[in-house]
Chain A
Amino acid sequence: MMLFEGTDFWTVAVIVGLTLVTVITRTFFFISSEEWTLPDWAQRGLQFAPIAALAAVVFPEILMQQGQFLQTWMDARWVGALVGGAVYFWKRNVLLTIVVGMLAYLPLHLVLGW
C-alpha cells in the first residue's frame, strides 16, 4: 500500500515529539490549575504582544532575502505587501488584500523574475 511506503519509525517518533512541542508551547500557562494572576502591569504589557508578533513575523518575510536585508528594490514581495496593505486601508477587507496583493505579486515574480 502506497500510504506506508517509506514510513520509518524514527520519523514517526519525531512527529510525536513535535506534536508534544506544539501542545506544550501553546498550552504552557494553561497546564497548572493553581490560582495566580499576573500583575496588572504585565497584563497590560501583553496587550502589545499581538501587534508585536505580527510585525516580527511579517516584516522579515517581506524585507529579507537569504538572511540579508533586500539588496535590490526589484523584489516582488514588498510591492505585493504594499499594494495589499493599501487595499486593506482602502477597503478594510483581508480577502481583497490577499487577492489584489497576489495580483500585484505574481506577475512581477513569475514574468519578471523579481
Chain B
Amino acid sequence: MEFDPVSQKLKCPFCDSVFDVKDYVANHNSNSQGQVVEDGSDTQQGSEPLYVYSCGSCGGEILATESLGSMKCPFCSNNVVVKEVFTGTFKPDCIIPFKHTREEAIDNYKKHVKSKKLVPKFFLDQNHIDEIKAVYVPFWLFNATVDYDAHYECTKSRTWSDSRYNYHETKYYEVQRTGSENFENVPVDGSREMPDDLMESLEPFDFRELVPFNMGYLAGFLANKYNVSVDESKPRAVARIKSSVPADFRNTVSGYSTVHTLMEHMDFTKESYKYALYPVYVLNTTWNGENYLFAMNGQSGKFVGNLPFSMAEAVKRYIPIALILWFVFFVIYYAMF
C-alpha cells in the first residue's frame, strides 16, 4: 500500500485498487476496537508497527511504516544502522501530502543542474540521482497577532523657479499608525538535520492544503521526527514576523517625499502553534570532500540547492567571451579615436 501523490489516495501497487486515506484508517481501527493502546493515540494502529531508523553519523531519526531493510541516511549518505520498532508518540496535528512524484523530482533535479552553467559535470551522473528520497519534514507552524504602534515624521517637497531664483518648499507632517496584524502558519523547521535556510528556500508551502494527520499518508514515504522543540523554534518565527510588521504598516504611509520613523512599539498577543509535516524530496551528494544537500518542495515542485563552482567550466567560458569582447572594444576604440 502506498500513498499516490497523483491521485492523492492509497494505491495497491499490485492490484491497482484505490482507497481513500480516511477509509484506510477506519478499516484498521475496527481491528483494534476495545483494545486500549498505551499511548492513547487513535491514529496509531497496533497492528501496523512504526519503525525508526537512526543514523549513527548525523543522529537523524527516520520513521517508516514498512520495514525497509538497510538504507542510506537521506541527510548524510552514511548507512543507517539501527532499526527498531518505534514506541514513542508520533502525533502531528496536520500534514501536506506529497503532490509530486519521485520521477518529477528526478526531472526537476536534472533541469536545475543543467541550467547552471558553471557546475562540475559530476552532478549529472545518474547513480546519484537515484538516491532521491521522499521525506516528510517536521515543521512548527506559528499563529500570532501583533499590536503595533508607530509615529513618523514625513515631508512633502516641491520645487519651482522664476527667472531669478530657484524655490524649494518643504511641508512637515506628523503621522501615526496604530493597529494589529494577524499571521498564520509561519513555518519553522523542527528537524536538526534539515538546514533551516534550505527549508526556508523551499517556501512557500500552500498551507491551505493542510489536512488533519492520518498515518495512511505515510505509506511508502519516510518521515523525520522533530528534534527541535517549540520553544527553540519560536524565536525564528518571532524574528520573521517582527521584520514584516513595521514594513506592512510603513506601506500605509504614502504620498510623501521622505518618511522617518520616530518611534515604534510591537506587542505579541494571541500566540498558538501546530505540529505539521511538509513534503520534501531530499538528495545529498558528496563532491570534493564536501556534502551537498538538495531539496524539492513535494507540493509545488520548487527545487533548491547550492551547487559548487567549477573553475574548469568557468575558464572554458571566460576565454571565448574575453576574446569576443576584445575584438568588439578594439573596433569601438578605433572608430571613436
Are A and B physically bound partners?
A: no
Binding site for B on A (CB under 8 A): none
